[in-house]
Amino acid sequence: MAAGALTVSMLGSGGPASADTSPDRALVEKMATTLSLPSPPGAKNQVKVLVFHASAGDEAPYTDAGIAAIEKIGLTGPEAQRFTTVATADPKVFTNGKRLGSFHAVVFLTGGGDVLDPEQEAGLEAYMEAGGGFLGIHDAARTEPYSDWFTGLVGARPAANSPASVQRATVEIGDRVHPATKSLPLEWKRPDKWLNWTKNPSGDVHTVARVRELTYKPGASANGWDHPVSWCRDYDGGRSFYTAMGGTADSFAETDFRDHLRGALSWTNRTSQADCKATITSNYTAERVTQPNQPGQNDQIGEPHGLVTAPDGRVFYIGRGGADSSQPVVIDWADPNIGKGKGEIHVYDPETKKVTLAGALDVFGNKGGGDELVKNEEGLLGIELDPDFASNGWVYLHYTPHAKIDRDKRMATRQVSRFTFDSATSKLDLASEKVLLGWPVQINSCCHAGGGMAWDSQDNLYIATGDNNSSGFSDGYSGNNPQPNYKGVSFADARRTAGNTNNLNGKILRIHPEDDGTYTLPSGNLFTGKEPDEGGGKTRGEIYVMGVRNPARISIDKSTDTLYAGWVGPDAGAPSTTWGPAKYDTFAAITKAGNHGWPYCMGNNQPYRDRNLPDPTKPLGWYDCNAPKNESPNNDGLVKLPPVTPNTIWYSPQGGGVDYPRDANGVPSYKPEEGKQLLPWLKGGGQATMNGPVYRYDAQSESTAKWPAYWDGKWFVGDFYDDTQPRHAVLTDPKTVGKGGLPTHAESLKKIIPVGADGIRNLMDWKFAPDGSLYVLDYGRGFFTSDSKSALWRVSYKGGGATPAAADLVGKAAAK
């Protein structure tokens, strides 16, 4: 907003004001008085802040401490952010245009109640419309209780039965870039009076901090895991910041709290810029970019199974190979076409908004639904583009070729192959295939094929493989039943695969592809493949991570080379004191090679019970997560395994991060009534993890669609389902990441990446494009096929840049 004079109706003209129907508001609307204010308020070089501390009753007990703290903040700290403080309890300042217009920001350190008459409130509105700044502290949310406009200004109203006592609690800092929070601890432990809200403002305001209700007693009006405590937004022409903290005089003596106020004031008084739009739902647009397939064709999409974005913005996405009108389901093993499907590669071009079918592979996996011995999850499972794709056009596909199945033994080969893509024709040259790596999988029984792939900064390719194991025969607990087999190959014992150091299933592999179509092994994998232990020949050097069940999606943050993975858990709906934990779907941030537990341990190293021949129904001892042993008759690898690394996020129908009291041997009680949720922001039921990317903000990009810097470094975790399951962006602590440390903060994405029947109900994959927008695959509403809801979506930001405008910065900041 350019500087100048603004004559504003005393009523204001902001959107929120029009909703106010209180009697006082009706009186104001009849007034024709005007107030002349500079736009924006305040002089260019001398920064002034007004502290207004009136109260309808007794003055707030923290008023003197608050005024003293704000005065000290103004006189200290960075020279460019210093200001002069003027304190008053006289509301007439809001009808004095000359005086009010000299202040860059107004702080409400009020004690609550109706402290402004209609004309004075209209003056405050005019001030905000002119581009003024507002900071409300604690009881300011109780001020002007009959004004809808003021409710919009502060953002929320306290519940009448909010806790009255001072309690020590943990504040989660979600915004690591806003000046009010960027210097604060990730987890900030402090005492205060914590307010509950009659209506949660999340999504309407930009929340920068939340209080963690698990750490204190929030009372009957608790808001749950999403309990905002500090937030901001651009409001009615100006800038509004509110913090519910500061309810005690001692708060203002805290260095961190004063830093919080300093940052909030620097934004509201225009000595610094900040983004207060990043988590406001209306600032995002979700657009379906593909159409339903034409009848009898897969011209737009196959059975959605993964995507990757190219440097030029095109999106490559694959169909696993499920049933469609041209590819009927064949389940008879005597038929040579059993399970034959088309694994399709489509390309969406955002410039032309056109979709091209780039190619299709004959894959095994099209067996439709049914029980474990009928359905199958093989097919075209993963796609990645070479780091030098722009120059060489190489595309890597992870798939199960139909031509290599053995119908007699019911075995197949899963492989990773490199193909060349012709950008001019948008076609994949199928004759260019070079097979990098292949390994055997049983196909007598479903499930768990995995499929995700990703690159690190050293051009190493990571390949996620499922445990190739049935979900049955173990009552939904550890997949460790050694008995079921077909022609000598077990299909219900994940100790043959995920828990086996000599098998590539149930792993995340790491290789370095070479230009000639071969690969080498980078240093730092879990094994070299040459270990002499237990006689030698019992390890595979490709293994980076073992002990994963069905890692369909993985990602790598190339700025740190941290690997992020998610895998689906077994089927038990509740924990068992006999067999172990309920089904845990899992996410892990992985910083080095390791064993992540399956089928021995889950979650934060919660063990299962062993079983073995001759009677697999008989429980044996609990697995030792610190020194697990693979004593399965189906194991051809090491017996003594690496210790289990605890995971980052796990959830079940009982909730998120469920844990139990443990005995002297570290075994949890597994009694539901003793369970505690360490991660209350998510809960399972029907569940299937869909790991997402870590967002990295590109300040040099001129894209208007890119997600804001607020999301930088946040890890996107989701689920195929869209109810209580996760669809969040989380922060991890660099000190504990990769060591089982829990996320420090979670931000729901369910209003930004829309859920529901007409939204993205069944999330299958999600990746950021070079322009900073997010592409999301919706699987559709069926299983083992595509339907009219199967689609590629684009979620883009439309909220604009930081505020205030550079031209409106004041003090020394204006000279920069």
The per-residue pLDDT for 814 is 65
Could you say which DSSP state residue 392 is in?
H
The per-residue pLDDT for 82 is 95
pLDDT in tens, 260-304: 999 999 999 999 999 999 999 999 999 999 999 998 889 999 999
* Dihedral of alpha carbons 675, 680, 685, 686, sign: negative
Neighbours of 44 (CB within 10 A): 16
The per-residue pLDDT for 774 is 98
* 387 pLDDT higher than 90: yes
The three-state secondary structure class of 30 is coil
Summarize the confidence of residues 357-361 as an average pLDDT. 97
Structure tokens of 18?
A: 């029009």
* 531 pLDDT higher than 80: yes
Summarize the confidence of residues 554-568 as an average pLDDT. 98
* 737 pLDDT higher than 50: yes
* 29 pLDDT higher than 70: no
Give me the half-sphere count of Cα atoms (radius 13 Å) on the Cβ side of residue 695.
24
**Is residue 129 within 8 Å of residue 6, measured between CB atoms?**
yes
**Is residue 669 within 8 Å of residue 580, measured between CB atoms?**
no
**Is residue 698 within 8 Å of residue 704, measured between CB atoms?**
no
pLDDT in tens, 650-661: 999 999 999 999
Structure tokens of 292?
A: 């339903």
Among residues of the chain, what percentage have pLDDT more than 70?
95
Could you say which DSSP state residue 527 is in?
-
Return the axis-axis angle of helices 63-75 and 255-268, rounded to nearest 10°. Answer: 70
**Side chain identity, residue 589:** A
The per-residue pLDDT for 17 is 32
Determine the Cα–Cα distance for residues 70 and 713; give it in Å rounded to an integer.
32
Summarize the confidence of residues 308-322 as an average pLDDT. 97
Determine the Cα–Cα distance for residues 629 and 612; give it in Å rounded to an integer.
13
Residue 318 is inside which H or E element, if any? strand 315-319
CA distances from 270 to 17, 45, 96, 106, 128 (A): 24, 11, 22, 12, 13
The per-residue pLDDT for 223 is 97
The per-residue pLDDT for 15 is 32
pLDDT tier for residue 816 given thresholds of 50, 70 and 90: low
**Is residue 580 within 8 Å of residue 608, measured between CB atoms?**
yes
Determine the Cα–Cα distance for residues 362 and 380; give it in Å rounded to an integer.
9
Summarize the confidence of residues 468-491 as an average pLDDT. 96
Structure tokens of 438?
A: 């292949």
**Is residue 146 within 8 Å of residue 22, measured between CB atoms?**
yes
550: buried, middle or exposed (CB in 10 Å: 19+, 13-18, 0-12)? buried
Summarize the confidence of residues 658-681 as an average pLDDT. 96
Residue given tokens 């997402």 in the structure block: 692
* 183 pLDDT higher than 60: yes
The per-residue pLDDT for 121 is 97
Determine the Cα–Cα distance for residues 616 and 613; give it in Å rounded to an integer.
6
**Is residue 497 within 8 Å of residue 480, measured between CB atoms?**
no
* 438 pLDDT higher than 80: yes
For the chain, the C-alpha Rg in angstroms (whole number) is 30
pLDDT tier for residue 813 given thresholds of 50, 70 and 90: low
* 382 pLDDT higher than 90: yes
The per-residue pLDDT for 738 is 94
pLDDT tier for residue 811 given thresholds of 50, 70 and 90: confident
Structure tokens of 548?
A: 């994963």
* 31 pLDDT higher than 70: no
pLDDT in tens, 76-108: 989 989 999 999 999 999 999 999 999 999 999
Summarize the confidence of residues 160-180 as an average pLDDT. 97
**Is residue 121 within 8 Å of residue 108, measured between CB atoms?**
no
* 588 pLDDT higher than 70: yes
How confident is the prediction for the chain on average, in pLDDT? 94
pLDDT tier for residue 324 given thresholds of 50, 70 and 90: confident
Q: Which of these, 519, 504, 498, 489, lies nearest to 439 by C-alpha position?
A: 504
pLDDT in tens, 608-655: 999 999 999 999 999 999 999 999 999 999 999 999 999 999 999 999
The per-residue pLDDT for 782 is 87
Domains in the chain (CATH in brackets) are 4-280+805-815 (3.40.50.880), 301-797 (2.120.10.30)
The three-state secondary structure class of 613 is coil
The three-state secondary structure class of 322 is coil
Contacts with 789 (C-beta within 8 Å, 6 or more apart), sequence order: 761, 762, 778, 780, 781
**Is residue 728 within 8 Å of residue 749, measured between CB atoms?**
yes
Structure tokens of 584?
A: 């845990």
Summarize the confidence of residues 722-730 as an average pLDDT. 94
**Is residue 591 within 8 Å of residue 638, measured between CB atoms?**
no
* 331 pLDDT higher than 70: yes
**Is residue 368 within 8 Å of residue 331, measured between CB atoms?**
yes
Determine the Cα–Cα distance for residues 111 and 69; give it in Å rounded to an integer.
17
